[in-house]
A = this chain, B = another copy of it.
Amino acid sequence: MEFQDCFPVWNKLSAAQQGSILAGLTPRRIKKGTVIHSGSMDCTGLLLVRSGQLRAYILSEAGREVTIYRLFDRDLCLFSASCMLRSIQFDITIEAEKDTDLWIIPAEVYRQIMEESAPAANYTNEIMASRFSEVMWLMEQVMWNSMDKRVAAFLLEESAIEGTDRLALTHEIIANHLGTHREVVTRMLRYFQSEGMVQLSRGVVELLDEKKLRALAET
C-alpha cells in the first residue's frame, strides 16, 4: 500500500503539492511499546498509519494515563503536529500498541498545503471533528458512567479490535487506558469473574459472557 492510497484527498492536490508531500515524507517502522510523540517533544509531524495501531493518551503530573483515542490503518494523527494549528493547546502522547508502519509528514509541509487547498483543509476538518466526537464520547463516559460500565465497555472494545475473547491485558494496562488505579480494576474484574462474565488468569482476561457485559456497559 502506497501513501497515495492512504491519503483520501491525494487526487485533489496539485502536482506541486503532491511533489512537496512526497519529498517531505519519512517512512518509519515503530516497535510495539515505543512512544513516538510526547507533549514535551518538538512538533513531530503528522502521522499516517500504513498498518499497525497507535494509542493517544494524556498523562497527569502524577503519571496517571487515560486513553483518548486509537489510530488504525489509514488513520491520520494531527495532534502530533500541534505546531501546525496555533489553537491546539494541549499535550498528547502517542505510543505504538502494535508494531506499526507509518509515514511522518512534516508539519510545515502539511500546513502550507492546507492553507492553499480547500480539499486538504476540509479533510483535516473531518478528522478533527471525528477525534472531537471520540473525546466527547469519553467525556460522557467519565462524567456519567460508573467504572464498572467503563471497564465492561473497554473489554468489549478490545475484544472487537483484537478479534478474540482472550485478551492479553494486565490490570495495570486497563487502568492506564481508563485513567484509574490498578486496584480499582482488579476489584472490578474479580466482581465480573464472580458474576461469570470473565475468567482471569495471569496477564489474561477471557470474556465468557459478552451479552451480560454488553448489558452492563449499555445500561
The answer to whether B142 touches A143 (Cβ under 8 A) is: yes
- A78-128 contacts to B, CB under 8 A, are 85-90, 114-118, 120-122, 124-128
A64 within 8 Å of B by Cβ? Answer: yes
A76 CB to nearest B CB, Å = 12
A136 within 8 Å of B by Cβ? Answer: yes
Q: Which applies to chain A's interface (DSSP): helix, strand, loop or mixed?
A: helix
Q: With A87-B133, A115-B118, A144-B64 in contact, do A128 and B126 touch (Cβ < 8 Å)?
A: no
A217 CB to nearest B CB, Å = 15
- The residue that A139 contacts in the complex, of B58, B86, B115, with Cβ under 8 A, is B58
B-chain residues with CB within 8 Å of residue A121 when the two chains form the complex: 118, 121-122, 124-125
15 residue pairs bridging A and B, Cβ less than 8 Å apart: A60-B143, A61-B144, A62-B144, A85-B129, A87-B126, A87-B129, A87-B130, A89-B130, A90-B136, A90-B140, A117-B118, A121-B124, A121-B125, A138-B139, A139-B142
Chain A: residues with CB nearer than 8 A to chain B?
58, 60-62, 64, 66, 68, 85-90, 114-118, 120-122, 124-133, 135-140, 142-144, 179
Given contacts A88-B132, A89-B130, 8 further A-B contacts (CB under 8 A): A60-B143, A61-B144, A62-B144, A66-B143, A87-B129, A87-B130, A88-B129, A142-B142
